[in-house]
Amino acid sequence: MTEYGKTLRAIGTPIPGLTVWELPVHGDNRGWFKENWQRAKMIEAGLPDFGPVQNNVSFNDAVGTTRGIHAEPWDKFISVATGRIFGAWVDLRAGPTYGAVFTTELDPSRAIFVPRGVGNSFQTLEPNTAYTYLVNDHYAPGVDYPSVNPADETLAIAWPIPLERAELSAKDRAQPYLAQVTPVAPRKTLVLGAGGQLGHALRDAYAGAAHVEFADRSDLDLTAGGLESARPWREYDTIVNAAAYTAVDAAETADGRAAAWAANVTAVTALARIAAAHRITVVHVSSDYVFDGTAPRPYREDDAPAPLGVYGQTKAAGDQIVQTVPQHYIVRTSWVIGDGHNFVRTMLSLAARGVDPAVVDDQFGRLTFTSELARAIRHLTETQAPYGVYNVTGSGPVTSWADVARRTFALAGHDPNRVRGVSTTEYFASATAPVAPRPANSALNLAKIEATGFTPADADELLAAFVGAASFAV
């Protein structure tokens, strides 16, 4: 009999992500009423915002009707409209809980959330039972997914009605046993811009991770047509966008302006559209150039953008677009150093060749090594930190570019006094090509990312390691 007056709450199970839900049911002499699925209340109580797109109902005449065990490639929220069922769920996902079993009874006051890859099955305990479920992907013919035989003795499911007397389809009786089933692989991560500095660092961060794919523009052009069919998007749960137009001075030219908007806005719009349609998490890299650099303190994530130049304008526009995706991380950074051409390598080259450089001393910030960016991205996605914008740079004191140059000289065994500090105006006074305006203050507040359990490495220590490795390579 349905129990009335329960408090909405989630109950964990031994299978990760599988949660039982107690539902408030209100009844009187006329019958009963319940909110079968209420997005706002359930999300507040801990249900993933899984985005259902289809509602299915299974009506069963007889007691003992048994269906499953099927692990369809979508999440399900399952409840009973009338009657009562015995449910059995088997984790068919690759990992330490593969083969774990959970069973319970469901009635109108008790529901369950079943994550993708967990095999679902039930047996009716009352006649005229209606079993209903919300799913977050549309059914498509030909979709392959694993099923396991409900009679498999290794599962040890105590079916209330023995299966030899239950109503099963011939197909379910012929399903393979657990030992013959191929586990469900984790959904994939796609890294865009895999040929760039951050892309190389992400390759190192995800070395050996079979579920991570890497692509550059030649592999996947987000501005090209046919994007919906460019990948089997249901197989992905995360896209890391490490691709961008970053030539800040060239962006001030006519051709550069068009290229910057194409890469940083048009392509990002296409990415956001795909991600929203398929409930994919987007990780997008932002820049200190979205700010004008006039703040008297390090910038927080919620500070309003005020870009000075074309590059900053395109990055700010891209950030706004990504924030329309329900599941997003925007990783805002500054003064990036990685493989290939960068400021530190330039200083090392000048030092070794006996050149005494003039370096600006009125722009302030912290270095960010691409290895740190990659580590932060993996941390945010794997710990399932709250979605939103996060500042990521090295930690330690805020310095000027001239300070970084002097420290680089010293670490490489050269006299740091060879570096002459100059103002930005003086540095670019003789420039003949367009020059982008730079924010004077690029320092970013790191409290938010630190609150997730991520500890940014000290920028000076990373610089020392980088210079040491570079010097050894030379």
Among 456, 325, 457, 454, residue whose Cα is nearest residue 382: 454
Examine the pLDDT at 9 and tell me if it is beyond 80.
yes
Examine the pLDDT at 2 and tell me if it is beyond 80.
no
Range of the domain at 324: 188-473
In whole angstroms, give the CA distance from residue 24 to residue 6: 5
- 97, 250, 405, 432, 457 from 345: Cα distances, Å: 47, 21, 10, 24, 20
pLDDT band with cut points at 50, 70 and 90 for residue 1:
low
Three-class SS of residue 20?
A: strand
Q: Which of 140, 160, 180 is the last residue of a domain?
A: 180
Q: For residues 203 and 86, state if they share a domain.
A: no
CATH number at residue 293: 3.40.50.720
In whole angstroms, give the CA distance from residue 46 to residue 63: 33
In whole angstroms, give the CA distance from residue 212 to residue 217: 17
Q: Which of 180, 200, 235 is the last residue of a domain?
A: 180
Q: For residues 151 and 193, state if they share a domain.
A: no
What is the model's pTM? Answer: 0.86
Q: Which helix (H) or strand (E) holds 373?
A: helix 370-382
In whole angstroms, give the CA distance from residue 290 to residue 301: 11
Which residues are marked as active site?
A: 70, 133
Torsion-angle region of 103 (φ positive above 0: left; ψ -120 to 50: alpha; else: beta): beta
Examine the pLDDT at 412 and tell me if it is beyond 50.
yes
Examine the pLDDT at 229 and tell me if it is beyond 90.
no
Q: Which pLDDT value is given to residue 228? A: 86
Q: Where are the alpha helices (DSSP H) in 7-104?
A: 39-44
Examine the pLDDT at 143 and tell me if it is beyond 90.
no
**Under 8 Å CB-to-CB from 235, ≥6 apart: which residues?**
187, 188
Residue 4 lies in a domain: no
The CA-based dihedral angle spanning residues 216, 218, 219, 223, taken in that order and rounded to the nearest 10 degrees: 90
pLDDT digits (tens, 9 = 90+) for 311-355: 999 999 999 999 999 999 999 999 999 988 899 999 999 999 999
pLDDT band with cut points at 50, 70 and 90 for residue 225:
confident
pLDDT digits (tens, 9 = 90+) for 437-453: 999 999 999 999 999 99
pLDDT band with cut points at 50, 70 and 90 for residue 472:
very low
More confident residue, 30 or 112: 112
pLDDT band with cut points at 50, 70 and 90 for residue 141:
confident
Q: For residues 269 and 399, state if they share a domain.
A: yes
Instruction: Determine the average pLDDT of the residues in 7-25.
Output: 96
In whole angstroms, give the CA distance from residue 57 to residue 83: 13
DSSP 187-245: PEEEEESTTSHHHHHHHHHTTT-TTEEEE-TTT--TTSS-GGGTS-GGGEEEEEE----
Instruction: Determine the average pLDDT of the residues in 110-128.
Output: 96
Q: For residues 149 and 213, state if they share a domain.
A: no
Examine the pLDDT at 196 and tell me if it is beyond 70.
yes
pLDDT digits (tens, 9 = 90+) for 61-101: 999 999 999 999 899 999 999 999 999 999 999 999 999 99
Q: For residues 140 and 175, state if they share a domain.
A: yes
**Under 8 Å CB-to-CB from 345, ≥6 apart: which residues?**
470
Q: For residues 152 and 267, state if they share a domain.
A: no
Residue 238 lies in a domain: yes
Q: For residues 175 and 194, state if they share a domain.
A: no
Question: How many domains in the chain?
Answer: 2
Q: Which of 140, 161, 180 is the last residue of a domain?
A: 180
Q: Do residues 258 and 301 touch, judged by C-beta distance below 8 A?
A: no
Q: For residues 215 and 167, state if they share a domain.
A: no
How many helices (H) does the chain have, and how many strands (E)? 12, 24
Q: For residues 278 and 153, state if they share a domain.
A: no
Q: For residues 33 and 126, state if they share a domain.
A: yes
pLDDT band with cut points at 50, 70 and 90 for residue 471:
low
Among 302, 338, 310, 210, residue whose Cα is nearest residue 253: 310
Q: Which pLDDT value is given to residue 236? A: 94
Residue 372 lies in a domain: yes
Residue 1 lies in a domain: no
Q: For residues 305 and 217, state if they share a domain.
A: yes
Q: Measured in whole angstroms, how far is the alpha carbon of residue 336 from the centre of its chain?
A: 21
Q: Quote the Cα angle for 455-457-458, to 5°.
A: 130
Residue 3 lies in a domain: no
Tokens encoding 289: 């150039």
CATH number at residue 28: 2.60.120.10
pLDDT band with cut points at 50, 70 and 90 for residue 224:
confident
Q: For residues 157 and 306, state if they share a domain.
A: no
Residue 2 lies in a domain: no
In whole angstroms, give the CA distance from residue 89 to residue 81: 20
Average pLDDT, the chain: 94
- Whether the link from the prior residue into 449 is cis, omega within 30° of 0, is no
Residue 373 lies in a domain: yes
**Under 8 Å CB-to-CB from 258, ≥6 apart: which residues?**
none
Residue 429 lies in a domain: yes
Instruction: Determine the average pLDDT of the residues in 298-311.
Output: 97
